[in-house]
Structure 1
Amino acid sequence: MRYEDPWYDALASGWGESDGTGVPAPVAPAAREGAAVRARDVYLEVQRSAAFQEVRSRYRRFVVPGVAVFLAWYVGYVITATTAPGFMARPVAGAVNVAMVAGLGQFLTTFLLTWAYSRHARLRRDRAALELRWDTQELTREVRGGEL
C-alpha cells in the first residue's frame, strides 16, 4: 500500500531548509506530484458535473429557505421579548405565559427542522451523493493504477 500524503515527506522542522546546494528542498517529491494532480483533476471534474450541481442545488433549495425562516422566527422571538414584555408576560394557562410557550416553540421548531432536514437528505440527496462518491472513488482508483 502506497502512502499518498503530500506532507509525509515534508520537513518536520525548518520548512524549506536548504538541501546543501543552497536551494530550498522541495516539500514533496516530484514523483508523487503527478498522481496528486491527476486525482485533483478527477475531483474537479466531478465537482463540475451536472449530477454534483444537482445535489448542491437540492441542498441549497432546502437549506436557504429553512435557515431564513428559522432565523426570522428566532429574531422575532428575541425582538418581541425585548420590545413587548407585557405581551410575553400574558398568561396562557396558569403559570405558563406567552414567552414560555414561544420558548418551547423554539425547541420544537429546532427538532422539526432537524427531522425535515434529515428526511430531505435521505429522500432527495443521499442516493445521488453516494453514487457521486462511488464514481469519484472509482475514478481516483483508476488514476492511482488500481491501488487501494
Structure 2
Amino acid sequence: MDPSAGRPATTTIYEQVQATAEFQDLRRRLRRFVFPMSAAFLLWYLLYVLLASYAPAFMATKLAGNITVGLVIGLLQFVSTFAITAVYVRYANRHLDPRAERLRELIEGGDG
C-alpha cells in the first residue's frame, strides 16, 4: 500500500493511461462538446414542453391547412436530434477518435 495515497502502489495500465495528459485532453474535449450540446438540446426540448403546457393557443396556431406551430416545433425536435448526431460524428471523427486510437495503441502495447 502507498501510505500517502491510501491505495495500492501498483496500478493497472488503464489507471496509468487515465493519468496521462493525452487522456485528460481527450476527456476535456469530449466534455467540452457533450455538456453544452446536451444542455442546449434539453433547453430546446423544455421550451417545447413549456409552450405546449402554458401556450396551447400559440401551439395550435395554424400555419397552413392543418399544420400548426406545435406540429412544426415537434418535428423540428427530430430534425435537431439528427443534426446533433451528425455534428457529433463529425466532431468525434476529427477530434476524439484519433486521440482515442493513440490511447488504445498505448494500452495494447502498440508502437503509438
TM-score, with length taken from structure 2: 0.87
Is residue 2:40 matched to residue 1:69? yes
Q: Matched residues in 2 for 1:41 and 1:104: separation?
A: 48
Deviation at 1:92?
A: 1.0
Is residue 2:103 matched to residue 1:138? no
Letter of the structure 2 residue corresponding to residue 100 of structure 1: L
Which residues of structure 1 form unaligned runs of 5+?
A: 1-36, 140-148
Deviation at 1:81?
A: 0.3
Deviation at 1:50?
A: 0.2
Structure 1 moving runs of 4+ over 2 Å: none
Match of 1:95 among 50, 66, 71: 66
What is the total number of aligned residue pairs between the two structures?
102
Letter of the structure 2 residue corresponding to residue 104 of structure 1: L
Q: Deviation per CA, 1:76-116: give whole Å up to 9, x if none.
A: 10010011100000011111000000000000000000101
Letter of the structure 2 residue corresponding to residue 41 of structure 1: T
Match of 2:24 among 43, 49, 53: 53
Match of 1:105 among 58, 73, 76: 76
Deviation at 1:45?
A: 0.9
Deviation at 1:41?
A: 2.2
Is residue 2:70 matched to residue 1:129? no
Letter of the structure 2 residue corresponding to residue 137 of structure 1: E
Deviation at 1:42?
A: 1.4
Deviation at 1:58?
A: 0.4
Q: Matched residues in 1 for 2:102 and 2:49: separation?
A: 43
Give the helix-richer structure, 1 or 2. 2
TM-score, with length taken from structure 1: 0.66
Q: Matched residues in 2 for 1:42 and 1:97: separation?
A: 57
Which residues of structure 2 form unaligned runs of 5+?
A: 1-8
Between the aligned residues of both structures, percent identity stands at 43
Is residue 2:85 matched to residue 1:85? no
Q: Matched residues in 2 for 1:101 and 1:42: separation?
A: 51
Q: Matched residues in 1 for 2:97 and 2:26: separation?
A: 9
